[in-house]
Amino acid sequence: MKSNSVKSGVERAPHRSLFKAMGYTDTELRRPLIGIANSANDIIPGHKELNRIVDAVKAGVYMAGGTPIAFGTIGVCDGIAMNHIGMKYSLASRELIADSIEVMAIAHAFDAMVMVTNCDKIVPGMLMAAARLDLPCVIVSGGPMLAGTSDGKKIDLISVFEAVGAVKSGKTTENKLSEIEDNACPTCGSCAGMFTANSMNCLTEAIGMGLPGNGTIPAVMAARTRLAKEAGMKVMMLLKEGITPKKIMTEKAFQNAVAVDMALGCSTNTVLHLIAIANEAGVKLDLEMFNRISKETPHLCNLSPAGTHHMEDLHLAGGISAVMKELSRKGLIHGDCLTVTGRSIIENIKDSETKDESVIRPLERPYHNEGGLAVLFGNLAPSGCVVKQSAVVDRMLRHQGPARVFNSEEEATSAIMAGGIKKGDIVIIRYEGPMGGPGMREMLVPTSAIAGMGLDGDVALLTDGRFSGGTRGAAIGHVSPEAMEGGPIAIVEDGDIIEIDIPNHRLTLKVPENEIQARLSAWSPPKPKISKGYMQRYARMVSSGGEGAIVRNVF
């Protein structure tokens, strides 16, 4: 056992003494030490009840003969961090979470890990740590919240953001906004739609690192507690069998995750995160692979923000196992991939069935013939950009219009809220990429304002930043290279015509090539927006969105 280096032999008497100061017995110290990364806090709704989940994991570890040892990690609530300087720190927190788990696991010689998570950057941060450490590991999420209701219709957090735009445009009242605010988030858990948190929790299950049900069992259900106990027991089995994350997170497993991503219509942020996780696992993912799998994989589920269903509906319809079972009917899933159950995907899903075909449509009757995401290339995004095509109205799949250029999210939001954006405009928000932001902020406020004003069917938004999983409309993010790197988005001018062609995966700045080159030659980078602390260091080392916004190794 790795933990023998901190607890066995005469030389380790001082180490054992410190364990005993915390109440650990000799019996507990003879057992494997199982680290439990716990991201519980009092600022994220998805984390409010994680201590209960951790207690259940501990019980499972004890039942299976291990000694659980919990420690904390940080986490950012994207909704609370949205539309101010705090959002610059959100994506960057992913690297800190992975690094902190690495520090704790190696410094204390854990034999295996259970990682208890929820919400946007915490899930991928923990998966990155799991791949990097390659210790036997199970990921357990805290589960999604239930949807709220207003006027007999289900609502969620995005309903609140969009209601703000509706108030600003006179389409609704502040009293109605207050009612929606009070009812949109009725329970703890990750926000109720197929936003980034739930997307990543579902893909954790699809890739094999979470137990069946990990992505969809609501936070308030007792089944979530039972799942956590099972995870504690399973990690002891993985330790005994020598099953580690790199045996699970193979190239084929990532392809499974992308296929499920496309079937569900997940957040565009999954592209960033899957590339970053794969990098830690030693697997190469490229953006063309996402397009190839999207072309092959029909879009089967239409959850909020694109549709009316929520996570509770997906769970009751059969969950991720039922989605994978449906995809497997036409060979769209690699069934032989190993999972944390100790069994293959095909063994895990063999008894699964779709219980509601209005939520999980059959392959013969999809919402769209192609998957939920598309990667576009062209002279405005030579290294690619990403759009949630399943959330774009048909008439905006192909669109040409004049650019309205802004050098920050704040500038763009002010113009949108003031009614300064017209139908047909293409809003450009630049210098918000991983390096230029720094931190690649999500743009939920401007996209929600556009939607709330009823313009999401007529206005596109392009950015080298990114979008919330709750964004809908022709919102194209991760434009790479970013403006701060001197990418072509840096030299777009007001009035330039831009052509969007999502079906053909093209994004084109309709400016002569010699003019583009002349503008690029005259361009120079602006002064960094943050010049001290963590984000200053992050900006120096981070890669483009097209490469997963990973922090490069610097020697």
Active site residues: 468
Spatial distance between the Cα atoms of 199 and 469, rounded to a whole number of angstroms: 8
* Helix (H) or strand (E) run with residue 409 in it: helix 409-417
With H, G, I as helix, E, B as strand and everything else as coil, classify residue 174: helix
Partnered with residue 338 across adjacent β-strands are 344
Q: What are phi and psi of 140, to 5 degrees?
A: -125, 125
Of 186, 180, 150, nearest to 165 (Cα)? 180
Q: Identify whether 362 is preceded by a cis peptide bond (ω within 30 of 0).
A: no
Q: How far apart are CA 232 and CA 234, in angstroms?
A: 6
How far is residue 14 from each of residues 111, 183, 238, measured CA to CA in Å?
20, 54, 30
Residue 284: how many other CB atoms lie within 10 Å:
11
- Residue 338 three-state SS: strand
Residue 262's nearest CA partner among 308, 337, 206 is 206
Instruction: Yes or no: say if 123 and 202 are a contact pair by the CB < 8 Å rule.
Output: no
Rounded to the nearest angstrom, the gap between the alpha carbon of residue 267 and the centroid of all alpha carbons in its chain is 7
Asked whether 133 and 158 are in contact (CB, 8 A), the reply is: no
Q: CA-to-CA distance for 84 and 89, rounded, in angstroms? A: 10
Question: 34 has which bridge partners?
Answer: 68, 112
Phi, psi of 228 (to 5 degrees): -65, -40
What would you report as the CA-atom Rg of the chain, rounded to the nearest whole angstrom? Answer: 23
Distances (CA, A) of 128 to 76, 112, 117, 186, 480: 17, 15, 13, 31, 23
Where in 5-128 does DSSP place strands (E)? 33-38, 67-72, 112-117
Q: Where is 403: in which H helix or E strand? A: strand 398-406
CA dihedral over 230, 231, 235, 237, signed as positive or negative: positive
User: CB of 423 within 8 A of CB of 459?
Assistant: yes
**Cα–Cα separations (whole angstroms), residue 418 to 43, 413, 495:** 31, 8, 19
